[in-house]
Amino acid sequence: MSDKKPTINDVAREAGVSKRTVSRVINGSANVGEKTQKLIQSVIERLDYSPDKQARGLASSRSYLLGLIYDNPDALYIDQVQRGVLEVCSKQGYELVVHPCQYSSDKLVEDCQGFIRRSKIDGVIVLPPVSESKQLAAALRENNQCYVRMASVDLDDHMNIVVSDERAAMAEMARYLVSMGHRDIAFITGPLSYYSSLERLAGFRSTLQQLGLALPESQVFEGQNSYQSGIDAAKRILSKTTRPTAIFANNDEMAAGVLKVAHNMGINVPEQLSVAGFDDNLLASRIIPSLTTIQRPVGAMAALAAQKIIRAIEKSDPVSSESDFLVKPHLIIRESTAPCTKS
């Protein structure tokens, strides 16, 4: 093919101008004559020139690298995020560097900072639950690093966050279950140290109250968002003398655990018990019966986050409008829920 990658010098020589002028064209500076502009543009095309990111970065102290920080067991979620981010960032000349980490580690902040520093990452997108860390956010801000958090609660400047309105989604879930006639509903939460868990619970409970119903504490069970914890909670719930007619679980993994326990106990879903989850992960549509759940527009959220971060990095429009930080999840009704048949 070619001998070597062409440099800015090759372009300059070929076009009969100086590096500086070529540089101006590359970076879209206004102060270039129409003709020279066109000329250089054509030479660039002909030589198939593209600026060297490393050299560029060394000079301007940027890397054209975006980081993705997460500690999330849901691989499907991560995958959707990665694709969403890449869709936006690769077009803009950025690459995506992944960085799984440990949310509960006391070296979290240090670890993430190291990651950013070592590779001069231009900006990071932080996924839940890491995105809920106050310490990390504070450190990022303090060190003047660009970041966008993806979260379920509005806990930062709208410039630095993209949130899915899970309160609203849970309101929808509550209305749906009630409309199916369910009055006696058990709720398996995620870890109560997560904002997302509290938010979902609050959204559900307040809607129930609006409908003149209640979600007593005795019907709330804390889970850990894991399959096993779903099983544990389900056992406790279903072994009570009066069973609820419906169970909501904070994620699909736990809902799958509920289904398993119900199956083992010979309880038919959805005839005798309705079950709903949250996430719409791979499981949800494959499991039998398929799961009624909440789907978040994960890819869209990620793409939005990528846009915000690039905007921030390039400071072209530091003020992002308020309108583009909130996305709406929605209810997906499948086979695991049905009208309440209890007298």
Partner DNA sequence: TTGTAGGCGTTATCAG
Partner DNA sequence: CTGATAACGCCTACAA
Distance in Å, CB of 157 to a second copy, minimum: 23
CB contact at 8 A, 275 and 251: no
* CA nearest to 63, candidates 100, 115, 25: 115
Choose between 51 and 191: whose C-beta lies nearer to DNA.
Answer: 51
Choose between 7 and 285: whose C-beta lies nearer to DNA.
Answer: 7
CA 331 – CA 69 distance, rounded (Å): 28
Choose between 31 and 343: whose C-beta lies nearer to DNA.
Answer: 31
Distance in Å, CB of 300 to a second copy, minimum: 17
Distance in Å, CB of 292 to a second copy, minimum: 16
Evaluated on CA atoms 189, 195, 200, 206, the torsion sign reads positive
Give the binding range for a second copy (CB under 8 A) out of 33-41, 98-106, 166-174, 203-211.
Answer: 98-106
CA 212 – CA 209 distance, rounded (Å): 5
Phi, psi values for residue 65, rounded to 5°: -120, 130
- DSSP codes joined into one string, 211-243: TT----GGGEEE--SSHHHHHHHHHHHHTSSS-
Q: Which parts of the chain are beta strand (E)?
A: 65-70, 95-100, 123-126, 146-151, 161-164, 185-189, 220-222, 246-249, 274-276, 293-295, 326-327, 330-332
Site size with a second copy, rule: CB under 8 A: 45
Choose between 61 and 343: whose C-beta lies nearer to DNA.
Answer: 61
By CB under 8 A, name the one of 9, 100, 138, 192 that touches a second copy: 100
- Amino acid, single-letter form, for residue 94: Y
For position 135 contacting a second copy by CB under 8 A, the verdict is no
For position 58 contacting a second copy by CB under 8 A, the verdict is yes
For position 65 contacting a second copy by CB under 8 A, the verdict is yes
Choose between 52 and 95: whose C-beta lies nearer to DNA.
Answer: 52
CB contact at 8 A, 215 and 181: no
For position 291 contacting a second copy by CB under 8 A, the verdict is no
Give the binding range for a second copy (CB under 8 A) out of 21-29, 203-211, 239-247, 251-259.
Answer: 251-259
Q: What DSSP state is assigned to residue 116?
A: H
Work out whether strand 293-295 and strand 274-276 pair parallel, antiparallel, or are unpaired. unpaired
For position 271 contacting a second copy by CB under 8 A, the verdict is no
Judged by beta carbon distances under 5 to 8 A according to partner kind, the member of a second copy, DNA, none in contact with residue 104 is none
> What residues make contact with a second copy under the rule CB under 8 A?
1, 5, 50, 52-55, 57-58, 63-65, 75-76, 78-80, 82-83, 86, 93, 95-100, 117-120, 143, 227, 253, 256, 259-260, 263, 281-283, 285-288
